[in-house]
Amino acid sequence: MRFKFYFTVPADLTPDAIEAMRTKAVNNPARRDYLHKGMYTYWPALRVCEEQFRRDGILLPHGCSQQDFIVWNPTFLQNKGVWPLRDDVVVHNGWSYKQIMSGKPNAANDYLGAHFGMLKVFAGAKPVRA
């Protein structure tokens, strides 16, 4: 019964309001210590990728253009004023290092690029290799 509401965009959501909501949830300054404690064991390339994903919110290979990503998809914002992901969500949790690196692009330490490539393969697309 709620399915049709997932495709109804709330009228009062602006791109700036959505970005502010996301930033408040994902990059909450009050919880910065928890983020740093969680990333303490990461190797440097993974720390860079984690920071990039938190900053941009888009899972793309390092250096890819983001100009086509103008606004967040408001159809998954079903609870007014609440971003659906908590700040302790980690993009690579649930996948093994070997699974993620199976989608590795040419840049050896581009963890987000590898994750992006792996997900494309899982979605049925052919891997892109230069």
Conformational region of residue 94, where left means phi above 0, alpha means psi within -120 to 50, and beta covers everything else: left
Q: Specify the amino acid at residue 111.
A: Y
Whether 128 is in a domain gets the answer: no
Q: Specify the amino acid at residue 128.
A: V
The predicted-structure confidence for 105-120, as pLDDT tens digits, reads as follows: 667 777 778 888 888 7
Does position 128 have pLDDT exceeding 70, yes or no?
no
If one counts the domains in the chain, the total is 1
Whether 10 is in a domain gets the answer: yes
Q: What percent of the chain has pLDDT over 90?
A: 0
Q: Could you identify the residue written with the tokens 């052919």?
A: 126
Question: pLDDT confidence of 127, banded at 50, 70, 90?
Answer: low
Q: Please give the pLDDT value at position 130.
A: 43
Taking residues 24-50, report their average pLDDT: 84
**Cβ partners under 8 Å of residue 72, min gap 6:** 15, 18, 19, 22, 57
The predicted-structure confidence for 5-29, as pLDDT tens digits, reads as follows: 777 777 777 778 888 888 888 888 8
pTM surpassing 0.75?
no
Domain of residue 85, residue span: 3-122
Q: How many residues does the chain have?
A: 130
Q: Specify the amino acid at residue 15.
A: P
Q: Contact 73/92 with Cβ under 8 angstroms?
A: no
Whether 129 is in a domain gets the answer: no
Whether 62 is in a domain gets the answer: yes
Residue, of 42 and 94, whose pLDDT is higher: 42
**In the chain, what is the greatest distance between 2 CA atoms, to the nearest angstrom?**
46
Does position 97 have pLDDT exceeding 80, yes or no?
no
